[in-house]
């Protein structure tokens, strides 16, 4: 069987019996450079051609880049981009050579790949810039030495990019879109900081000291990040590192125990339930029908907004039970008895519809399929506008976030259930909170629907004037 080295024909073509390097030129540069760039290698060996091609490929890419940006000012502006282009080419080669080493089926194939690795390393180092005759040591340009070390480290599997397995980690994690967004943002922030701190972004370089340094300096990149957001970033990095540790990719989780001090919440700043007067103002104001329905659902189920707007017709069971999708760390779907005050709403929204139809079609999913926003994003924005329009707001000092929001319906529901002397563990089961105690928290299959129904029906809306 041919070795991987002998099968790779990228950037190569036969001209007669000899191999040469060939690269397509972008259409707009045809008048300057022609349709293709070519360079003879003067060898009929594909193995040898693969050894020789990469420096020429890098030169060709640079030639195309310079032709695209001929103006001196533009060349200065794109100087950094040119350096990155060279580095990108070298890293691509390193990954390819690394795959050849892993796929080598015998000592001869492995030796052939190592020969290629050694020759390419010498080409990256370039000509020596100094020589110590006493110790017989050559000196090379420091940048080229760094590039060569990075090339060898990746090819030999001694260096692993921080995000090399991050997509695989996210696919395995099963988290919601918003959390996936946090994961990507955390990794990008770490990579940006590594560039600023002149630390190569490889797992092997992220030690505990480096993790501490990142925590100390991350606000120099994003000075407006709050301690809460910073802790979320560290938390996502920690979860990723734990996953890497379980796979043997890192020795330990360097992010464990890293925390930013959050300002203590006081009674004056803590988010709170709506008051009965605020509930009245919201439900009797000039709300559209869909907004009124969304508010009634929040007040009489205690469910989170996204779980509500994601309901389908089939999730309103004929036995008088809502089936809400899992939220936060809930292991599965959650059942919630339908409050008598929602009977008309449910009948109206399910009449004449198919099981798979949306219960709230007025609030569609984001138009972009790859959007990381939840379906409830626009609903939340519309509710905030409406809430403020009827004078329901509670902003303390210079804080931007109000102490009341849609989640205040959930807090109000829990408060009213408690005031109606409903057991705490049953309220927790109805709203999807983690229940306390090993008996109910682990061994119980959950309360009977009849018990849950008593909790739901104990919550009553304040008397409305209209």
361 vs 8, more confident: 361
| Closest to 252 (Cα-Cα) out of 244, 260, 263 | 244
**Neighbouring C-beta atoms of residue 98, cutoff 10 Å:** 19
Chain centroid to CA 47: how far?
40
The answer to whether 151 touches 120, Cβ cutoff 8 Å, is yes
Question: CA–CA separation, 393 vs 178, rounded Å?
Answer: 26
- Give yes or no for residue 444 having a pLDDT over 50: no
Question: CA–CA separation, 340 vs 347, rounded Å?
Answer: 11
Question: How far, CA to CA in Å, does 264 sit from each of 261, 267, 268, 433?
Answer: 9, 10, 11, 23
The answer to whether 427 touches 414, Cβ cutoff 8 Å, is yes
Q: Which pLDDT does position 420 carry in this prediction?
A: 95
Highest mean pLDDT, choosing among 196-210, 390-404, 438-452: 196-210
Question: CA–CA separation, 446 vs 459, rounded Å?
Answer: 20
Task: For the chain, report the end-to-end CA distance as a whole number of angstroms.
Answer: 83
Q: Which pLDDT does position 312 carry in this prediction?
A: 95
Phi, psi dihedrals of residue 263, rounded to the nearest 5°: -65, 135
Please state the rounded mean pLDDT for residues 63-80. Answer: 63
> CB under 8 Å to 238, separation ≥6 — which residues?
253, 255, 256, 258
Percent of all residues in the chain with a pLDDT value above 70, rounded to a whole number: 87
- Band (pLDDT 50/70/90 cuts) for residue 80 is very low
pLDDT tens, 23-49? 999 998 998 899 999 999 999 988 888
Q: Which pLDDT does position 375 carry in this prediction?
A: 86
Q: Which pLDDT does position 367 carry in this prediction?
A: 73
- Give burial (CB, 10 Å; 0-12/13-18/19+) of 209: exposed
CATH 1.10.443.10 domain extents, the chain? 276-458
Phi, psi dihedrals of residue 16, rounded to the nearest 5°: 75, -120
Q: Which pLDDT does position 7 carry in this prediction?
A: 61
- Give yes or no for residue 87 having a pLDDT over 80: no
The answer to whether 332 touches 429, Cβ cutoff 8 Å, is no
The answer to whether 313 touches 347, Cβ cutoff 8 Å, is no
Q: Which pLDDT does position 170 carry in this prediction?
A: 87
pLDDT tens, 456-466? 999 999 988 65
The hierarchical CATH code for the domain 276-458 is 1.10.443.10
The answer to whether 210 touches 254, Cβ cutoff 8 Å, is yes
Question: CA–CA separation, 439 vs 436, rounded Å?
Answer: 8
pLDDT tens, 301-335? 999 999 999 999 999 988 899 999 887 666 668 88
| Closest to 232 (Cα-Cα) out of 181, 192, 272, 271 | 181
- Give yes or no for residue 211 having a pLDDT over 90: yes
| Closest to 457 (Cα-Cα) out of 340, 321, 343 | 340
3-state SS class at 23: strand
Across the chain, mean pLDDT equals: 84
Please state the rounded mean pLDDT for residues 421-443. Answer: 71
> CB under 8 Å to 239, separation ≥6 — which residues?
173
Q: Which pLDDT does position 1 carry in this prediction?
A: 42
**Neighbouring C-beta atoms of residue 416, cutoff 10 Å:** 22
- Give yes or no for residue 434 having a pLDDT over 70: no
- Give yes or no for residue 399 having a pLDDT over 80: no
**Neighbouring C-beta atoms of residue 230, cutoff 10 Å:** 20
């Amino acid at each position: 069987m041919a070795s991987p080295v002998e099968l790779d024909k990228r950037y190569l073509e036969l001209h007669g019996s000899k191999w040469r390097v060939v690269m397509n030129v972008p259409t707009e540069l045809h008048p300057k450079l022609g349709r293709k760039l070519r360079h003879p290698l003067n060898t009929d060996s594909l193995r040898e051609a693969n050894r020789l091609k990469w420096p020429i490929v890098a030169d060709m890419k640079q030639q195309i880049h310079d032709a695209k940006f001929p103006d001196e000012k533009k060349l200065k502006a794109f100087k950094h981009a040119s350096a990155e282009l060279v580095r990108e080419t070298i890293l691509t080669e390193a990954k390819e050579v690394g795959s050849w080493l892993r796929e080598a089926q015998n000592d001869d194939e492995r030796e052939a790949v190592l020969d290629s690795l050694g020759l390419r390393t010498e080409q990256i180092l370039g000509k020596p810039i100094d020589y110590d005759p006493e110790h017989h040591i050559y000196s090379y340009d420091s940048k080229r030495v760094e590039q060569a070390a990075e090339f060898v480290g990746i090819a030999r599997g001694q260096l692993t990019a921080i995000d090399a397995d991050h997509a695989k980690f996210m696919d395995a994690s099963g988290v919601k879109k918003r959390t996936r967004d946090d994961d990507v943002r955390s990794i990008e922030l770490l990579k940006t900081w590594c560039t600023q701190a002149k630390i190569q972004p490889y797992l092997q370089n992220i030690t505990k000291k480096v993790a501490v340094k990142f925590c100390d300096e991350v606000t120099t990149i994003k000075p407006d990040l709050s301690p809460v957001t910073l802790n979320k970033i560290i938390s996502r990095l920690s979860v990723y590192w734990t996953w890497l540790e379980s796979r043997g990719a890192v020795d330990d989780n360097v992010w464990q125990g890293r925390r930013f001090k959050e300002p203590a919440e006081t009674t004056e700043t803590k988010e709170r339930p709506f008051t009965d007067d605020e509930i009245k103002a919201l439900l009797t104001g000039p709300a559209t029908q869909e907004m009124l329905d969304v508010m009634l659902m929040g007040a009489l189920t205690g469910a989170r907004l996204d779980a509500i707007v994601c309901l389908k017709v089939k999730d309103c069971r004929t036995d008088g039970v809502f089936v809400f999708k899992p939220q936060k760390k809930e292991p599965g779907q959650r059942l919630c008895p339908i409050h008598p005050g929602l009977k008309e709403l449910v009948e109206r929204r399910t009449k004449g519809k198919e099981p798979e139809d949306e219960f709230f079609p007025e609030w569609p999913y984001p138009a972009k399929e790859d959007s990381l926003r939840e379906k409830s994003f626009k609903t939340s924005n519309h509710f905030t506008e409406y809430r403020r329009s009827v004078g329901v707001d509670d902003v303390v000092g210079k804080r931007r976030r109000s102490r009341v929001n849609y989640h205040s319906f959930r807090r109000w529901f829990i408060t009213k259930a408690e005031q109606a002397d409903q057991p705490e563990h049953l309220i927790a089961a109805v709203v999807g909170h983690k229940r306390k105690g090993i008996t109910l928290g682990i061994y119980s299959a959950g309360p009977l629907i009849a018990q849950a129904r008593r909790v739901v029906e104990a919550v009553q809306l304040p008397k409305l004037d209209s």
